[in-house]
Structures are given as C-alpha cells and as structure tokens.
C-alpha cells in the first residue's frame, strides 16, 4: 500500500471511529505523518487536496439538490422563462442549467451567491404580486 492509500485508509477509519477508538486512530495518523519523507509528505498533501476537492463537489451537489427540492412545489406555478428573462436577462435554459447543476463546457454550473439573492428577491416580489391580485379579487 502506498502512502496515499495508507493515508486514505487511516482517514476513513478516523471518520468512522468514536471515543477511544478515534484516539487510537489519531495516534496511528500522528505516527504515520511523523514517519513520512519529504516526497511522501507531498504525496499525502495531494491526497488531502483530492479529498477536499471531493468534499467541495459533494457540497455543491447537495446545495443543488436542496435548491431544486425547495423550488419543486412552485416550479409548475411560475414562469421560469419570465424569471430568467426579467430578473437575470437570461434564457430559461440558463436558469434550468443552474437549478439542475448541469455541466456546461464540462463544468457543473450553479447559481452564485448573488444570483441566489436575486432569485430570493424575485420570488418575494412575485409572491407579493399574487397576494395583491388575490386581495383585489376578494373585494
């Protein structure tokens, strides 16, 4: 087993362990790190970087799933085309690509933080329009 595989194995054991078992695995990790040569340390750093990239990818996927789930009940009732054009000056396909986390030019796309803010304000505004119109009809 090379150093990357050893690191990944110990790291997975540490994540799954609790209490005294985690302390034991932590001691193994400490010993492992102390025994590494400079080249091996670089190799382990690459493995850590790979782990972080995987975590970021998973977080992005979870965010997209949650956004889609959060909007699922209103998507049939609102015009995505109107949202995309009026609030973002974009096409409905642009909106759906971000909502679904599709790949564009080989890269998964999502709404940026500022775009999510615009979307939130847009939905508030549209909601107020529904309420105002409902109030007019109820008279």
Give me the tens of pLDDT residue by residue for the chain, a chain 139 residues long. 788 888 888 888 888 889 899 899 899 988 988 898 888 888 888 888 888 888 877 777 666 567 888 898 999 999 999 999 999 999 999 999 999 888 889 888 888 889 999 999 999 999 999 888 888 887 6
What is the number of other CB atoms lying within 10 angstroms of the CB of residue 127? 12
- Hunting for tokens 């054009």 — which residue is that? 85
* Same domain assignment for residues 124 and 80: yes
Tell me how far CA of residue 123 lies from CA of 34, 94, 103, in angstroms: 54, 17, 25
Of 64, 89, 109, the last residue of a domain is 64
- Backbone φ and ψ for 22, nearest 5 degrees, come out as -65, -40
* Same domain assignment for residues 60 and 80: no
Q: Which domain holds residue 10?
A: 1-64
**What domain count does the chain have?**
2
pTM exceeds 0.75? no
């Amino acid at each position: 087993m090379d150093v990357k595989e050893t690191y990944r194995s110990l790291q997975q054991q540490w994540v799954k362990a609790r209490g005294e078992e985690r302390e034991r695995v932590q001691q193994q990790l400490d010993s492992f790190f102390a025994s590494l040569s400079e080249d091996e340390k670089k190799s382990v750093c690459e493995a850590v970087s790979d782990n972080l990239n995987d975590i970021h990818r998973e977080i992005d996927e979870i965010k997209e799933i949650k956004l889609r789930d959060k909007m699922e009940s209103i998507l049939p009732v609102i015009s995505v085309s109107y949202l995309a054009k009026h609030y973002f000056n974009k096409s409905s396909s642009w909106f759906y690509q971000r909502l679904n986390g599709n790949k564009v030019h080989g890269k998964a796309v999502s709404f940026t933080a500022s775009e999510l803010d615009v979307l939130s304000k847009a939905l508030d505004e549209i909601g107020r329009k529904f309420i105002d119109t409902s109030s007019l009809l109820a008279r």
